[in-house]
Chain A
Amino acid sequence: MTTPEATIVCPVVGTLVSSTDVWFRQEDTDRLADTFGEAVFTSKGSEELEARRAFLCADAAVRLFLPLLLGAAAIEDRADLINTLRELPALLCARACRETDRVLRLVAQAERRQRALVVAKQDGEQALPLALLSVLGKAIVCSRSAYVVAATSFEPADAAMEVQHVTAGVLWANDETIYRPLVDTTFGLLREMLALSKEPAT
């Protein structure tokens, strides 16, 4: 739709904020508007800026949201996996994403084996383990989408969409106790995205 806002909102920022409309409670939606309102509506910049914001999304999905998910699931001890993810280098360039992607696939393989064992033990209660594994896959897609934006049909906003999907998985795993950390992490991600200069990086 051709509205005045549509032409000046960065698609990466806009995609992230759109999903908060759905899952934020009203007081947090209001707080987001109070905190970032004008900056959101004038956030559009260059394609290079959009790509940098996409990398921020990938970084948040893998190193912030995914550990939240693993911590919230609490099926069994995942401290090693959480630490592995948090200690990864920041995913702020294509090379970092590519290297990290290999690590994530190894983590996914380990998770898959674990999930198979859990499913075997908990016959009929397979939804949560499969959800965990699917969300892990989404985080991998997020990291991938960030570094292929220039080479494929992916657009930078796709990275923000994958963040939305990872967030959904975290909410699924634990509705209440994880809500506040999720909101805070989303605010932090948005703050970082808007703080990026509209000028090309040097």
Chain B
Amino acid sequence: MSDTYEPVALNACPVIHAFAFGSLLWMKDTDVDRVAFYNDIADEVTDSAKEDFVVTADIGLARGYHAIDAMFRTFVAIPLTWHGSQWWLGESASPIDSRPRLLNEMSQAERLAEHLRRHGPDLWPLANVLERAYGASNELVRGYPERAAAGLSLVVGLIAKRSSRALLRALTLESIDLVRALRAIETP
């Protein structure tokens, strides 16, 4: 690639953008709240058009950890609660803010996914969610927070696909909160 390559027409924090666009895949059915969600993204895009807009690697990584923390403790917790897997949620009570903590959480997710796989097809959708959560986390371990955020959006999408309308709204509101929290992270 030429080193004179110009930026794309619009830029934004790659972590927020990846989560936002992936989320639009499943938000199409929640007519009102998704507008609020996109307005937040529009604000991010507007801010990123300013000359002093910078997302450093440290900020990107901090946002990645925050997103993955929300994935395990907020989003993945929803279907796990349906299944009654409280034993794991209890261990997830403290924030996932470091590599050792994340690796531990991934190990838990892997074990639970394998456990669910052995119980037959009815639990495979939940195993899929956990395996995707593992995959998203693994991207963060490898140093790619934007890929982790994109993976998170697929995790939430899988949960949303099997959710009631009320829960869809809840997932949308949680997503709005997450984007606002990510935007608020300016220093790790």
Q: Report the minimal beta-carbon distance from A75 to chain B, rounded to whole angstroms.
A: 16
Size band of the B side of the interface?
Answer: 35 or more
Tell me if A22 and B9 are in contact (CB < 8 A).
no
Complex interface: chain A residues within 8 A of B10 (CB): 108, 112, 133-134, 136-137
Residue B28 at the A interface, CB < 8 A?
yes
Known: A1-B110, A130-B42, A151-B1. A22 touches B154 (CB 8 A): yes
A137 with B161, Cβ < 8 A, contacts A22-B26, A127-B38, A127-B42 known: no
Contact of B9 among A1, A98, A136, A158 (CB under 8 A): A136
Would you call the interface of chain B mostly helix, strand, loop, or mixed?
A: helix
Decide: B113 and A1 in contact? CB cutoff 8 A.
yes
Contacts of A130 in B (CB 8 A): 38, 41-42, 45-46
Point out the residue from B23, B35, B135 that lies within 8 Å of A127, measured CB to CB.
B35
**Contact residues in B for A109 (Cβ distance below 8 Å):** 9
Q: Which residue of A lies closest to B161 (CB)?
A: A22
Say whether chain A's binding surface is mostly helix, strand, loop, or mixed.
helix
Contact with A along B28-44 (1 / 0, CB 8 A): 11000001001101100
Please, which residue of chain A has its CB at the minimum distance from the CB of B1? A148
CA distance A127 to B110 in the complex (A): 39
Q: State which of A36-44, A53-61, A162-170, A193-201 sits at the interface with chain B.
A: A162-170
Write out the residue numbers on chain B whose beta carbons fall within 8 Å of the beta carbon of A152: 1
- The residues of B with any CB-CB pair to A shorter than 8 Å are 1-2, 5-6, 8-12, 17-18, 21-29, 35, 38-39, 41-42, 45-46, 110, 113, 128, 131-132, 134-135, 144, 147, 150, 154, 157-158, 160-161
